[in-house]
Amino acid sequence: MDSTYPRIGLHIDGEWLYDRPAYTEVVNPSNEATLGSVPGATPADLERALAAAERGFRVWRDTPPLQRAQLLLRTCALVRERAESIAQILTQEQGKPIADARNEVARATAFLEWDAAEAQRLYGSIVPAGPQMQQMILRLPVGPVAAFTPWNVPVGSPARKISGALAAGCSVIIKAAEETPGTACAFVQCFIDAGLPPGVLNLVFGNPSLISSTLIASPVIRMVTFTGSVAVGKHLTQLAAAAMKPVLMELGGHAPVLIGADVDAAALGKLAGSAKMRLAGQFCASPTRFIVHQKSYAAFVDAFAKAASEVRVGDGFEPGVQMGPLLNGKRLAAIDELVQDAKVCGARVAAGGQRIGERGFFYALTVLADVPAHAKAMTTEPFGPMALCVQVADLDEGITLANSLSVGLAGYAFTNSLEEAERFTRELECGALSINHFGMGGADTPFGGVKESGIGREGGAQSLEPYTTTKTVLTRTARV
Ligand code: NAD
């Protein structure tokens, strides 16, 4: 156990609960040291959380939007005050470089601020009718929300879901990732210290299957939101469908990067190196399938491989480290298996291709060239520091390859041709497309996928939509 790591508890009905049997241990992925243990919620804890969320909903739903917004802004100020300590916990348990952890905390505050403003704009509408009749469409909070968040963005994802739900007037039971519970606890503490009433936000950990099946089946829960893998997302969507509940699913991708014939291929290769090392490739929008015009291919791959081999991989607390470890041994084995399979299929290892060291879950930033279509990685989201390069003869071949998978989350395209950019915009099957850069949108733009990458959008002007429902009220004003 590490004395600098916080004690992990469940937070139910305004109370921290620590004395539960350990469900699992938290491991620092940079050195494999045990940081602490995670208590598992019992069925009785889940029932208590449901009852608390039901009571909390009634209180929060009737709290005026301006007060809800003020609560989010007070929380935001506390997150800013505690940003460094939250970032330290994040890097300890997740491994990403401390600068990236700080950026993620800053991103979380942006979500809180955005949703605080949106809370005050939950406008309904009046639909014209004849005399003695009023037609009102109200936007109301949907009810208690069950939220499930992943380990790769342990403050960013809870921030998006909690702030959207609370801004809309919903209560929340969140099961944050058991791999990164310290960040979630520190984040939830900010809401409590900002004065959120008991029961409005409840945090649980434990057996994921027990928690999701109990919460989603309960009549208390009125909406389900999840970020994670396609497989788990489909499972939770099926549970929700059985109980006729709406879902917000932000699932996996396998982002294509289309690179045209008229670009500075060497400069883009270098840029791809810094984009691919982000979170060690462990995020849903990580650029992964580099589909390059044959004229640009050789220069791009050479520059990409050079940039990748120069990336400093190590403990996220070490100065100068640019890329941290994978989450655990399971992820390490999964990446290595995909790399070895691609090699057997005939891919060329242009950079990386192996684990680094014996302690910590480090894997070299890997660039594979000439990857054949039948290599597993071409259809399985790697979710790691692995880039696949393929050359194509023209735009049509590139777009067909990009759209050939069942997922469509993020996409990237590089071109100096307006005509090509327009075709990418219209034809690439993805929910978020970045043209001529590797950046991603912030709180002010919606994010989510098409096809099996999910249902619904987080952020942007629609950020409260998944957490609201409408009620049509028709009032006859004549005396009765
Ligand atoms: P996993 O599928 O084992 O678990 C992912 C998450 O889902 C964990 O937090 C886990 O607690 C949760 N989960 C699993 N079963 C659940 C259930 N029955 N009910 C509720 N929650 C459940 O995957 P992993 O090995 O931890 O991560 C690797 C894969 O996850 C990747 O391949 C990637 O596709 C996906 N992933 C996606 C995102 C994203 O941002 N879209 C984030 C993290 C992981």
Tens of pLDDT, residue by residue over 209-231, are 999 999 999 999 999 999 999 99
Question: Could you read off the pLDDT of 10-59 as tens digits, one per residue?
Answer: 999 999 999 999 999 999 999 999 999 999 999 999 999 999 999 999 99
Mean pLDDT of 446-466: 97
- Residue with the two structure tokens 């939509």: 465
pLDDT at 4: 87
What is the set of active-site residues? 250, 284
Task: Work out the pLDDT band at 370, boundaries 50, 70, 90.
Answer: very high
What long-range pairs does 327-333 form, CB within 8 A, spacing at least 24? 327/29, 327/94, 327/95, 327/151, 327/152, 327/179, 327/282, 327/361, 328/27, 328/29, 328/179, 328/361, 329/361, 331/282, 331/361, 331/383, 331/384, 332/361, 332/363
For 142, the token pair is 């949907």
Mean pLDDT of the chain: 98
| Domains of the chain from N-terminus onward | 10-251+453-472 (3.40.605.10), 255-443 (3.40.309.10)
DSSP label at 41?
P
By CB atoms closer than 10 A (0-12, 13-18, 19+), residue 212 is buried
Q: Which residues contact ligand 1 via a Cβ below 6 A?
A: 148, 150-152, 177-178, 208-209, 212, 227-229, 231-232, 235-236, 250-252, 283-284, 330, 381, 383
Q: 348 C-alpha to center of ligand 1: Å?
A: 30
396 forms beta bridges with none
Residue nearest to atom 18 of ligand 1 (CA): 209
Q: What phi and psi, each to the nearest 5 degrees, are found at residue 135?
A: -120, 110
Residue nearest to atom 34 of ligand 1 (CA): 229
Mean pLDDT of 290-302: 98
Q: 284 C-alpha to center of ligand 1: Å?
A: 11
Mean pLDDT of 74-97: 98
Task: Work out the pLDDT band at 477, boundaries 50, 70, 90.
Answer: very high
Q: 42 C-alpha to center of ligand 1: Å?
A: 21
Task: Work out the pLDDT band at 82, boundaries 50, 70, 90.
Answer: very high
Which atom of ligand 1 is nearest the CA belonging to 409?
Answer: 41
pLDDT at 2: 78
CA of 44: how far to CAs of 12, 41, 143, 230, 414, in Å? Answer: 11, 8, 21, 29, 54
Residue 358 predicted with pLDDT over 90: yes
Rounded to an integer, what distance in angstroms lies between the CA atom of residue 10 and that of residue 185?
8
pLDDT at 435: 98
pLDDT at 1: 72
Task: Work out the pLDDT band at 292, boundaries 50, 70, 90.
Answer: very high
Residue 68 predicted with pLDDT over 90: yes
Task: From 183, 211, 229, give the residue whose CB has the most ligand 1 atoms within 8 Å, as the site to mutate.
Answer: 229
Question: Could you read off the pLDDT of 241-271 as tens digits, one per residue?
Answer: 999 999 999 999 999 999 999 999 999 999 9
Q: 9 C-alpha to center of ligand 1: Å?
A: 21
